[in-house]
Structure 1
């Protein structure tokens, strides 16, 4: 066995090595195809590195392409051998074939050795000026690699990024924006001049580039445009109304100061101009909307989060249909989409109402999808619990259906499944806190179930309800305490604590009937193994049983135990996710992931929109042309002005072909006059 292992280690892949050492290009090509196929299947081919790297100077283009593919995979692992071929890679950067130039740069940037940083920097700068957009795209991919290897090169890399951002090729746009996000995401000034160009190129950029650009433009728009959902008039009126109300505990002087402050705020708001959407803001929304029909789920999700964070409320509804379409995709995609839909519905509750049928449960759905869709009548325990909790949230948020939900939960108390009963009890407990006086019959019904329910949380919830509203069930409560005293030593800790609370409350409200029973329970708890229960028993005894030392505390016992408690609010578990950007990994995990960038707040005042204007230099003469749009976009009326010095072009897209024709015709006349 050992001999076979040694033979396998030293002589495996000998046939491939012989083929790579052959003088025939056909054999080398066949060997490289087999090696690349091995890599694609996940097999280790690192022992072939010396034999492969010899062929990096092969004149056959097909062989050289596959050699570069291999080297990109293993250059980082075999750095010493890869360094021996640096000169060959540098020659490859000058190759007439664009694929070879790009592959050479890709291999060079994959060698993680600081010694060759100057060579990599020079290669990236040259590739950024290459005639081939494919090579420029590869240069953009190499920028984050070099930055992670040597962060001190950041300033030089930013210069390259600035140059590539001005590239008008769709092939380069997505890659350079990715480099921008990795190296200098805070340099918004680099985006100003290229903003409109990126918006116009977006529809033709490859899919994954679209995702990167859309996410970047989302953050950019949050810093450069005003919030479209700010309603100055409503805010102004509310401030005036609030100013007229007087606080109960406030003095007259305080009220006067508050009134003056609110009036000053209202006056400042009144001076503001009514909101008008920036044309560049509208440009972004208009150019991303067609991408909702993309076949790529990531693109659709990126556009959806952009509209949710940037669009006016009246326009956000367009994303609902696109997200519902993604519900027909794979379960992994469904899970991500539903997580985002759940967050969206917190702020835009009616957005998905026309598509409620799309959220019905299928028997083939995984548990996570079922929980997110929220249905009932399933054998999945976690899903059933989530469904019952959802019924409770419906009853809390919609007062009209509260009684219906409560009656439905009471019917579930007779279910044979113990988990269903337990979860129903917990939810009913929270609902009864809102209107306990109207539902004493339900409390009595739940008290009768105490003998049959064995789930500790459910038993504890019933005991809490009986103790909290013992005045509504004065005959049943002492009997329940008597039963629980018999089984006190066998109960779980959470149930024992509620038995002590029930005993204390009954002692304070009906001491004649429950005095001895309460003392018995306190004595049992005094010798319990759990120190929390022993401490609670000692605490309760000092409060409710009057002694010379505890006379002062005894006066406040009823206020402590029988005080009115606020009704609980059953909130969606997705409510605290809205502080993360939709579509991000942090939102999915509900925790800040490495590399996450916070979504900026809207600015209070509109930044200068002229920073996005592009200067046009006329090579024909010293004069420059100013092309500005007059009137509405639909009219397509253009004014052509000439002036000396600098000029700007508002490159707002004109949809009508007539307007474009007028533009080109005016430019041609101008150039002819200068000629």
Structure 2
């Protein structure tokens, strides 16, 4: 702290000419280089503040002849900042100093020289680096070797051909057997960076090399077990790291164990590992809010793949009054994921408390979670409905709107069971001013128009603002008016209402979806009203919350990024980082059949002229994208017949018994392998779809069970 306070005086804007004069003045009567250090500190401080110090290039470089390490560090920092944009004659002036320092007796200076050269990716510097990097990789000092390992990755980024022809990748691989743990760690980091490039080489480790890495490194996801016993041995050796005090080590250990469990055959060992992983994950919640959020986002992925890890620990995820909103939202989603028939009362009571909080966004999420809980756990439906009605009677507008939205979904999940609450919802019709809640109440009025005596009056009030409403509300009004007309075809109000809406939808709106639906309804009602009733009032499939669960193949991919930014966004790094290669489970004889069934095969670019023959599989040819055609049509407006026969609505569908999907067996493979599908969605924009990582309603809407559970997966966000 004292040093930081002393250095603060250097952060003052200065002029180029003043610094140049001070450097020249420091050449005389400065045997201990005190003046030179002071001037260089001021220059570095100005670089940090964003001032352009490049005109001092020649003057600063002259200080490289000083034997003091502190001065060399500052000069090399200057070179890192301005070396790329320097003139050729200026760079040629620096090369002799590089060559001199790379052979210095001090290993710190040798490492500093090659590290600085690796930061200046221009041909003349890269050539000098290539000549000396080979010797540094075999240097007697481990500090130089570990620095040289990282320099290989930078050299590969700047000039892949030179790195491959020089044999640096093979030398880097040899460092995996180095006696120094830090050297091994840097070698693995460099190899991982090279392998993550789309045009990079593919590495494959054997058990001997992997065991060597385990002695120095907590990361072993590049190792692919060839036998079940290999994975079991590795898991037993690593599990002790779950007790480590560092949260990063704990998350990395969990990542490795989750990876190895795909190759473990012993069910008892899997149960044992799941039991061991629970307490360390819960312990992360005692850290600061930032670490908590990282842990919670990772836990959200983990419990979808291995729900047995935390199946009895839902109480640990109850929100505290002083939790930041982002932590509360993450905990809310985990509570819902862990809810089941055995603990739904505790979860529901907690959600009811949250619904009375002052934070509007948090209250909305809590109310929506109550509805999702009713859909997920059948035993909880009665209690959830009662809680929602109490919240509606409280009269808060934003609570009423969220309650209407989720009650609509409950009606679809349990048809014919809770229609008695409709009058209470209609009493608060004036409180609904948001598109989603309006669309929900309109759907309820249209769906149950035969049981709501004044359904035509309610819709007539809502239709008055048809042209000012959003497309979502307009579509709901159009369908509800058609349902009302089918139910009450002899009512003049219903007939006038549907005619008015159809005319608006087909003549006065620009949205093509709304117009097409209007034309379709108009034709059906004009040509065959009975058929229109069968279509519009057809039996609806029951809905479930299983649709917001992530695809198993994509989930296995994301779990390979546990503890990284990808696990926070819940997106693979290649979707938001340019030139990042995808990562997926590697097939081997030891891979579990259920994991193999959802295995994602990653395409890799084939570049034969830049490929190195390192033991492992070759690249896979990427698949060609499919093409789709679009068609358009034009339609005329037939007349709706004046006398439409009464259409008897179909009976309410009988809800078959349904599994709640609460698999708590530690491994979902056995029960869900037949229902899982592998799907991957590529996005041309690498920075798209990141908004859902911090809260969105995209995945809240339950979907029909008959629809694909994975369509639009790239838009789903598991925090909501």
Q: Which TM-score applies when normalising by structure 1?
A: 0.71
Task: Please point out which of 588, 606, 622 is paired with 2:568.
Answer: 588
CA deviation profile, 1:404-457 (whole Å, cap 9, x unmatched): 112212222223332221111111111111222111211232233324433332
Structure 2 distance, partners of 1:572, 1:539, is 29
1:651 equivalent in structure 2: none
1:53 equivalent in structure 2: 61
Contact 2:357 2:363 (8 Å CA) reproduced:
yes
* Mean Cα deviation higher: 585-594 or 117-126: 585-594
Task: Please point out which of 214, 220, 227 is paired with 2:223.
Answer: 220
Contact 2:481 2:497 (8 Å CA) reproduced:
no
Q: Does residue 1:603 correspond to 2:603, yes or no?
A: no
More helix by share: 1
1:140 equivalent in structure 2: 149
- Relative distance call for 1:440 and 1:476 in structure 2 (3 A) is farther
- Relative distance call for 1:541 and 1:30 in structure 2 (3 A) is closer
Contact 2:289 2:324 (8 Å CA) reproduced:
yes
Task: Please point out which of 549, 555, 575 is paired with 2:550.
Answer: 575
Structure 1 distance, partners of 2:78, 2:161, is 30
Task: Please point out which of 191, 205, 214 is paired with 1:180.
Answer: 191
1:75 equivalent in structure 2: 83
Contact 1:543 1:557 (8 Å CA) reproduced:
yes
Give the C-alpha shift of residue 47 in structure 1.
4.5
Task: Please point out which of 448, 461, 481 is paired with 2:427.
Answer: 448
- Relative distance call for 1:535 and 1:111 in structure 2 (3 A) is closer
Contact 2:284 2:291 (8 Å CA) reproduced:
yes
- Aligned counterparts, 1:602-621, within 5 A: 602-604=587-589
Unaligned runs of 5+ in 1: 1-5, 203-209, 227-276, 613-675
Task: Please point out which of 362, 385, 396 is paired with 1:383.
Answer: 362
Structure 2 distance, partners of 1:461, 1:319, is 42
Structure 1 distance, partners of 2:29, 2:85, is 26
1:523 equivalent in structure 2: 500
2:344 equivalent in structure 1: none
Q: Does residue 1:124 correspond to 2:133, yes or no?
A: yes
Contact 1:526 1:534 (8 Å CA) reproduced:
no
Give the C-alpha shift of residue 555 in structure 1.
4.1
Give the C-alpha shift of residue 126 in structure 1.
0.2
SS at match of 1:90: helix
Q: Which TM-score applies when normalising by structure 2?
A: 0.67
Task: Please point out which of 379, 384, 388 is paired with 1:405.
Answer: 384
Structure 2 distance, partners of 1:77, 1:327, is 47
Contact 2:26 2:33 (8 Å CA) reproduced:
no
Task: Please point out which of 467, 473, 497 is paired with 1:495.
Answer: 473
Contact 1:72 1:110 (8 Å CA) reproduced:
yes
Unaligned runs of 5+ in 2: 1-12, 262-268, 333-350, 593-613, 616-720
- Relative distance call for 1:35 and 1:190 in structure 2 (3 A) is farther
CA deviation profile, 1:363-412 (whole Å, cap 9, x unmatched): 33332211111252333333222222222222222221121112212222
CA deviation profile, 1:518-571 (whole Å, cap 9, x unmatched): 2244225514632445554443232224xxxx2xx4341112111011122234
Task: Please point out which of 394, 418, 421 is paired with 1:439.
Answer: 418
SS at match of 2:307: coil
CA deviation profile, 1:578-635 (whole Å, cap 9, x unmatched): 242333333332442332431224424579xxx99xxxxxxxxxxxxxxxxxxxxxxx
Q: Does residue 1:542 correspond to 2:523, yes or no?
A: yes
CA deviation profile, 1:138-158 (whole Å, cap 9, x unmatched): 110110111111110243121
2:211 equivalent in structure 1: 196
1:481 equivalent in structure 2: 459
Structure 2 distance, partners of 1:503, 1:7, is 74
SS at match of 1:302: helix
Give the C-alpha shift of residue 107 in structure 1.
1.9
Structure 2 distance, partners of 1:491, 1:346, is 38
SS at match of 1:575: coil
Structure 2 distance, partners of 1:324, 1:124, is 46
* Mean Cα deviation higher: 59-68 or 173-182: 59-68
